[in-house]
Amino acid sequence: MNNLNKGQHYGTSKNILEREGLIISSSLYHNQMNCPLHYHANAHFALTTKGNLTETHRNGKIQLSAGCLIYNHSQEPHFNSDYSELVSALHVDIDTKWFTKYGLKQTRIEGLHVIENPILKNLFIKLYKEVKFYDAESELTIESILIQAISELGRNINMNENSTPPWVSKLTELLHFNCTNEVLTLEKIASNINIHPVYLCQQFPVYFNCTFGEYVRKIRIEKSVTLMLRNPLLKLTEIAYECGFSDQSHFIRLFKKHIGINPLAYLKMTRE
């Protein structure tokens, strides 16, 4: 089994940013067939930004496509296969000393995590933008995004380990599968998961760390970015419609508020 050093990945890496305890790079894989069983010296996040591949771990296979985000703890063995013609990914390699520097407990998030949480995914969409449009403020922004991401991931794991009420997972599934193609009312949501609307409003921030509206908006924005990464030729009107926005101007306004640039600029970035 191969042991990859800090910041090392298969494929061709470019746009490498190195800071104390952090290595951020974009990796390109041209017509790659597979890569051997290996593990990384450091914990790392990987956001697939183009193409498709399969990542195999001891617990099974994960199908990765543009927009997928995973976290691998250090020393987590895996291998990749079934690459499409062109695959690219943003890698964030995090040293133990970085966790220590900010008092974050690395041991709380051991193992592999496939991340579906729209709050976390939106953070990495912002980070991807910062790497592409790097300026004087980006270093501070990247550090703060990663602190938020690690804290949110740890909170999710802690919540899953405790006795989370069954309605939380039902609600998560309901919102992810319906918020982009159906008008959801509080009464309809509460009825579907069989709890009182007032209790739902009281408890939602406890388990989701934001308001109802904020969570639904983040899902829609995250889905819009996934569409852009998978098909950069889509028109904004098509993206807005597919993601449940009332009109294109509403979509543009919310996208810029959440990501920091307008969707046309983001589309152009995905094509580069």
pLDDT score for 161? 65
Average pLDDT (152-176) is 85
Domains detected in the chain? 2-161 (2.60.120.10), 166-271 (1.10.10.60)
With a cut of 80, say whether residue 159 has pLDDT above it. Answer: no
- The residue among 200 and 76 whose pLDDT is bigger is 200
**DSSP character for 107?**
G
> Which residue, 35, 34, 39, is CA-closest to 5?
39
pLDDT score for 88? 93
With a cut of 80, say whether residue 205 has pLDDT above it. Answer: yes
Banded model confidence at residue 3, pLDDT cuts 50, 70, 90: confident
SS3 assignment, position 55 = strand
Region for residue 37 given its phi and psi (left: phi exceeds 0; alpha: psi -120 to 50; beta: otherwise):
beta
pLDDT score for 107? 67
Banded model confidence at residue 122, pLDDT cuts 50, 70, 90: very high
Mean pLDDT of the chain: 89
How many of the other CB atoms lie within 10 Å of CB of 41? Answer: 16
Percent pLDDT > 90 in the chain is 54
With a cut of 70, say whether residue 134 has pLDDT above it. Answer: yes
pLDDT score for 45? 95
The token duo for 152 is 């949110």
Residue type, 102: Y
With a cut of 70, say whether residue 245 has pLDDT above it. Answer: yes
With a cut of 80, say whether residue 162 has pLDDT above it. Answer: no
> Regarding beta strands 22-30 and 112-115, do their DSSP bridges make them parallel or antiparallel, or are they unpaired?
unpaired
pLDDT score for 150? 92
Which CA distances in Å does 39 have to 1, 44, 46, 97, 233?
8, 11, 14, 19, 36
Distance, CA of 154 to CA of 148 (rounded, Å) = 10
Each residue's pLDDT tens digit, 72-119: 988 888 899 999 999 999 999 999 889 988 888 776 688 888 999 999
Residues 213-233 as b/e (b if ≥16 CB within 10 A, e otherwise) read eebbbbbbbbbbbbbbbbebe
Each residue's pLDDT tens digit, 49-74: 999 999 998 889 999 999 999 999 88
Each residue's pLDDT tens digit, 174-184: 998 887 776 77
Which CA distances in Å does 64 have to 38, 39, 147, 250?
18, 18, 25, 30
**Least confident stretch, 22-31, 35-44, 155-164, 243-252:** 155-164
